[in-house]
Amino acid sequence: MKTAIQLGNMRFYAFHGVNEQENRVGNNYTVQLTVKASLKQAMLTDDISDTLNYAELYETVRKEMEIPSRLLEHVAGRIILSIQNRFPEIKGGKLTVTKEKPPISGDVESASVVIKW
At 9, which amino acid appears? N
Structural element, H or E, at residue 30: strand 27-36
Q: How far is CA 14 from CA 5, 8, 58, 63, 70, in A?
A: 24, 17, 15, 11, 11
Active site residues: 99
